[in-house]
Amino acid sequence: MKSLLIGLFLCSFSSFGQLKLYATTPDYFENGDLFGPDYTVFNIEYSGSGYSYAQFNGVNSNLGLTRGFVMTTGRLADQSQGLLGPNVQSDAGFDMGTPGYPLLSSLIGGTATNDAAVLEFDFIPHTDTLVFNYSFGSEEYEEYVGSTFSDIAAVFLIGPGLPVPTNYLTVGNGVPVSLDNVHNGVSNQFGNFPPINETYYYDNTTWSGDSTKITLDGFTINTQVRIDNLQIDSTYHLIISIADAVDGNYDSGLFIEACETCLPTLSVEEEKEATMLLSPNPVVNQLHIETSGEHSFQIIDALGQEVNSRVIYGSTSLDCSTLPAGMYLFKLDSGEIKRFMKR
């Protein structure tokens, strides 16, 4: 699946944790709000599940990043099977049943990958360096270190002087970021493994109801992508990617921090009180819409296509009986968005 509606399927959502997730649009990349005004971004494509990407706000979490873009190999907002926290169990996850990504498989010796989330786009740099902070985390810490199940993430660059995709998501001596390459020493069913690049690792496996903790059992800290010697005003192709290894069980996530000096559009203000309610949710036949005044609305399906739109006057009911089962967005002309499920 290719989509130009990045993050469309996720409304503003926060569970018990302090990590917050928000819907996003292509403008988040194209107007300079991810990497900043020194880069012109275009030709955005996404491959993977529509439930696996969003903007994030990590200011009040233990993630160590402020705000930016996140992708996961599972569902972002599924409480114990998402990223929001608190972290109260090990081995949480959701098998999306989606394909892997050959470039990621090539980094782990050809091992099959699954549930890949891949964001790629062209960009023109107006400076010779691209730098951004990131965090890779996984529910497979620390039980699956040393196994073939070690999930993988990468940031590939193709462009002048780089005819073959080159991975810049590395630590230490340039090794790819994965469970096996970043941890503080592990003894598990697969063996005993001494610490490797442990200064970049945060152990998040103390189960608690701490609302600042994200769900992932371990994640990288103080990790950064730095690409030097870019040819100014030339065109490059960047691929941000993450996937499960071998099977689709247990989730991993990749957080990309936005430029802090670029006035990103992601708001850190308190969420506004809802002015629209939808019920029942999930819906089988009639969807009841509670609002006030006159509004136009759109219903958008999981492929980003408009499937219904009209003007409503105050509270009303909408016949959804002919909609195929799946996830939809209900968007008012005021900009308010609600997600609902059709059974």
Structural domain includes residue 331: yes
57 touches 67 (CB < 8 A): yes
225 plus 303 within the same structural domain: no
132 plus 212 within the same structural domain: yes
Last residue of a domain, one of 209, 226, 257: 257
Structural domain includes residue 267: no
48 plus 121 within the same structural domain: yes
Structural domain includes residue 51: yes
213 plus 326 within the same structural domain: no
Q: pLDDT value at position 166?
A: 93
Structural domain includes residue 136: yes
Q: pLDDT value at position 149?
A: 62
pLDDT digit string (tens) for the chain, length 343 residues: 333 333 333 444 444 447 887 767 656 677 666 888 889 899 998 888 777 788 888 888 888 888 888 888 876 754 444 566 555 556 555 556 677 888 988 887 877 788 888 999 999 999 999 999 999 988 888 776 876 667 789 999 999 988 889 999 998 778 888 888 888 888 887 888 899 899 998 888 776 667 778 878 889 988 999 999 999 999 999 999 998 876 646 778 999 998 764 433 433 333 333 467 888 877 888 998 888 778 888 888 755 678 888 888 878 888 988 888 766 778 888 777 777 777 7
Structural domain includes residue 2: no
Q: pLDDT value at position 119?
A: 92
Look-up: residue for tokens 């001596």? 173
318 plus 204 within the same structural domain: no
Q: pLDDT value at position 148?
A: 61
Look-up: residue for tokens 């003007």? 311
Q: Does pTM surpass 0.75?
A: no
Quote the CA–CA distance of 150 and 202 in Å, as a whole number: 17
Cis status, amide bond into 280, omega within 30 of 0: yes
Give how many domains the chain has, as a whole number.
2
Structural domain includes residue 266: no
Q: pLDDT value at position 28?
A: 66
What range does the domain containing 93 cover? Answer: 20-257
70 plus 105 within the same structural domain: yes
Structural domain includes residue 263: no
Give 273's contacts (C-beta < 8 A, 6+ positions apart): none
